[in-house]
Amino acid sequence: MLQTLDVALGLSFIFFLFSVLVSTTSEMILSWSNARGKMLWKAISHLLPQSTHGKDTLPLQEFVAHPLMTAMHRHNSADANVAKDFPSYMSNSQFSQVLMDLLETKGTAEKAETRWHLVQSGIQALPEAAKGPLMALSRDAERNLLPGQEPMSVFQCLAGQWFDSMMDRTTGWYKRLTQAWNFGVGLVLAVACNLNVMAMTRALSTNDELRAAFVQKAEASVKAQSDLAARMGVEESKGARAVFDEAVTELATAGFPVGWNQTTATAWAQHPISTLFESLLGWLMAGAAAALGAQFWFDLMKKIINMRGTGSRPEAGPNMPLGDVGMPGPIPPAGYIVDETPPRQG
C-alpha cells in the first residue's frame, strides 16, 4: 500500500511540474490571440445579437460603437475584426451603463413622459433578435417594484444580473477552451520530451532509490507551500522547467526510456511496435494530465502525503502548568479539594 502511494506521489509531482509548463505556454498563446476578448465578444453576441442567433452572429452594432466601448477597442463598427481587439473584461455596471444610455438615445422623445418611457421606447426600436430579452426584463422590473423604487433602477440592476449569468457561462466556455489547449500543448511537449507515463510508472514501481528520491522532492515541494500553480509567472515557469528537466534526466539515467537518448533509441530499435503503442498511450496520458491543471496535481500531492502519514504536524495545545521542579504537578487523590484540607477519614 505504501509503495503504491509513493508511486502515485512521484507521478503527481512530475505531472505538477509538467502542468506548470503546459499552462504557462497555453496561457501565453491564448493571451496573444486575445481569447478572453473573443469570448466576451461571443457573450455580447448572445445577449444583444444584431440580426439572428447563430454561430456567426454579431453583437448589436450600436452597443459596440458606443463611445464608452470604442474607447476600449478603438473600432467604430461591429464587424469580426473588432473581436481581435475587444476588451478581455467588462463589469456588469459598465454593461448596464452602456445599455441604458443606448436605450435612452434610441428612444422617441415625443411620446416619452419619463425616462422610463424613453427606455421602453428605445427597446422597441432595437432589432427583433435583441429586444426580446430586454422587453422581458422591463416587464420583470415593473412587477418587482417596491415602494419608493423606480423601474429604471430595477431594470438596470436586472440587466447587470443578466450580464453576470452570461459571464458564468462564458467562464465555462473559457475553461473548456483552456483545457483543450492544455491537452494539445501537453501532447506536443510530451512527444518532444518523450514523457512516457507508462515508462515512468514502471521506473517508480521497480526502482526503490528513484522512488524514494521523487517522494522526497514531492514532500519538499508541498512543505514549501509552492504557489506555482496559482501564479504561473515566467520566472516560476523557468524554475519548474529546471526541476522538470532534472526529473526526466533522473528517470533516463535509471535506464528507462524517457527523453530522447541512447536508451530510447535502443528501445525503439529492438521493439518498435510495442514501444510505439506504449509511447502513444503514455503521451496521451501525459496530455490528459496536463489538461487537469497544476493546481489539481498539487492538491493531490498534499492528499497523498496526508494519507502516508507524513503531513503537517498538528499544532501543539496549551502548555500544562509546571511544578517547582519543571514537571507537571501531582494529580490530587479522589475527593481532595484544592487549597483545603483533605476530607477526614471515617
Taking 60 as the threshold, does the pLDDT of residue 231 lie above it? no
Query: Average of pLDDT values for 30-43?
Result: 89
Q: Which residue has the higher pLDDT, 288 or 225?
A: 288
- The Cβ of residue 328 has, within 10 Å, a number of other Cβ atoms equal to 10
**Per residue in 73-97, is it b (16+ CB within 10 Å) or e — as a string?**
bebeebeeebbeebeeebebebbbb
Confidence of residue 79 (pLDDT cuts 50, 70, 90): low
The reported pLDDT for the residue numbered 169 is 92
The reported pLDDT for the residue numbered 239 is 63
Model pTM score: 0.74
The reported pLDDT for the residue numbered 326 is 45
Q: Are 64 and 75 in contact (CB under 8 A)?
A: yes
Grouping H, G, I as helix, E, B as strand and the rest as coil, residue 328 is strand
The reported pLDDT for the residue numbered 333 is 46
Q: Give the bridge partners for 59, in sequence order.
A: 49
Q: Could you read off the pLDDT of 268-285 as tens digits, one per residue?
A: 888 889 888 988 999 999
How far apart, in Å, are the Cα atoms of 95 and each of 159, 284, 306? 8, 42, 46
**Cα–Cα distance measured from residue 287 to residue 190, given in angstroms and rounded to the nearest whole number:** 7
Grouping H, G, I as helix, E, B as strand and the rest as coil, residue 54 is coil
Q: Could you read off the pLDDT of 204-229 as tens digits, one per residue?
A: 888 888 888 888 888 887 877 555 44
The reported pLDDT for the residue numbered 322 is 44
Closest residue by Cα to residue 241 from 5, 6, 20, 9: 20
The ranges assigned to domains in the chain are: 2-31+174-307, 37-167
The reported pLDDT for the residue numbered 328 is 46
Report the chain's mean pLDDT, rounded to a whole number: 79
Taking 70 as the threshold, does the pLDDT of residue 135 lie above it? yes
